[in-house]
Amino acid sequence: MKAHPAGQKAGRDPDDEQLIGSAHRALAIEARALGALGGRVGAAFAQACRLCLACQGRVVVTGMGKSGHIAGKIAATLASTGTPAFFLHPAEAGHGDLGMITRSDLVLALSNSGETPEVVALLPALKRLGVPLIMMTGRSDSTLAQAANVALDVAVDEEACPLNLAPTASTTATLAMGDALAVALLEARGFTAQDFARSHPGGSLGRQLLLHVEDLMRTGAALPRVLPTAPLSAGLLEMSAKGLGMTVVVDADERVLGVFTDGDLRRALEAQIDVHTTTMGAVMTPGPKTIGPRELAAEAVHLMELYRITALPVADAAGRLVGALNVHDLFRARVM
């Protein structure tokens, strides 16, 4: 007889079809919960947004149990998208952490039942401080919903749990409402990619959003460039010496006229041209793609992928060459 782990009931092992079927049912229930949520986003949601926008302090997000985990994620999303926020454990609030809430703050509380004792216990203190309260709850007639300045309805018809007990669809709906609130506030504040970068300095995301082309580009003697009147042989020597996979063709004022790449070289060799008498202006690719020095390095990646090129001249607003970079520079900086 097959042994089962402690606490696990013996039963027939499910086959793949049963396991996949359970997953499909859970996803379908949660999808219906999210679909129904959209119809409840109205005046109360707008009022909640206005309270957050008017808040001079921080949004203090709280919740107990599974709602607490969702509250932590919502607080993190708000904080990273322009709305200062942090998570407060409601059970710890009554043991000193209540001092973390100031009169200029706002509380966003999560409770599916609207009767969570640890959250209800915060009400007298919040009233004494005059702190606005936004509730996300599945019961609009609950104690917490009635006490709140605004109550957002996140009720679900059923949980994805077959016992209809474990918070599943309800936590998904609450998380989605939190995301909707964060996005609405982000757009209302005019939050930009550069703002986002300042709160995400670490990891690849931070590098993509913080690094500019001028931080990576090659300049000065490392920058390959020739005049259009230079012979092709001189262009080849310049391209080989600088190791960028191209050379930029510029006029006497350093304005970018074209580029000469490995692809141009192959075409020139196929045409059997004389490398000593042919000028760079005759074999270059005119009007190349360029990028500005203050553009994000991630934009350089985008241009290279879009146009299937491996190097870019960097030009200022007047079209003058100020630098260049290639895919290896971006790889070294771990932007791509």
Amino acid symbol at 187 = E
pLDDT string in tens for the chain (336-residue length): 445 555 555 557 888 999 999 999 999 999 999 999 999 999 999 999 999 999 999 999 999 999 999 999 999 999 988 899 999 999 999 888 889 999 999 999 999 999 999 999 999 999 999 999 999 999 999 999 999 999 999 999 999 998 888 999 999 999 999 999 999 999 999 877 666 666 655 555 666 667 889 999 999 999 999 999 999 999 999 999 999 999 999 999 999 999 999 889 899 889 899 989 999 999 999 999 999 999 988 899 999 999 999 999 999 999 999 999 999 998 888 887
Segments of the chain assigned to CATH 3.10.580.10: 213-332
Q: Please, which residues have CB within 8 angstroms of residue 19's CB and are 6 or more apart in sequence?
A: none
pLDDT (0 to 100) of residue 11: 57
CATH topology classification for 213-332: CBS-domain (3.10.580)
Residues 277, 272: Cα–Cα separation, whole Å: 12
For residue 296, the model assigns a pLDDT of 87
Of the candidates 108, 113, 115, 90, which has an alpha carbon nearest to the alpha carbon of residue 159?
113
Alpha helices in the chain (DSSP H): 16-38, 43-54, 66-80, 90-93, 117-120, 123-129, 143-147, 169-189, 193-198, 203-210, 213-216, 232-242, 262-270, 280-283, 297-307, 327-332
- Tokens, residue 211: 């690094």
Structure confidence at residue 199 (pLDDT): 63
Q: CA dihedral defined by 59, 63, 69, 75, rounded to 10 degrees?
A: 0
Q: Which pLDDT score is estimated for 210?
A: 73
Q: What is the pLDDT of residues 23-39, one digit of tens each?
A: 999 999 999 999 999 99
- Of 118, 28, 102, 133, nearest to 67 by C-alpha is 118
In this prediction, residue 203 carries a pLDDT of 58
Task: Tell me what pLDDT residue 1 has.
Answer: 43
- Say yes or no: domain 20-191 is CATH 3.40.50.970: no
Q: What's the CA gap between 95 and 93, in Å, rounded? A: 5
The boundaries of every CATH 3.40.50.10490 domain in the chain are 20-191
Helices 43-54 and 169-189: crossing angle, nearest 10°? 60
pLDDT tens per residue, range 292-317: 999 988 899 999 999 999 999 999 99
Among 254, 197, 204, smallest CA distance to 228 is for: 254
Partners of 320 in beta bridges: 255
Give how far Cα 319 sits from Cα of 90, 154, 252, 324, Å.
Answer: 59, 54, 13, 13
Q: How far apart are CA 253 and CA 282, in angstroms?
A: 19
d(CA 97, CA 105): 14
pLDDT at 9: 57
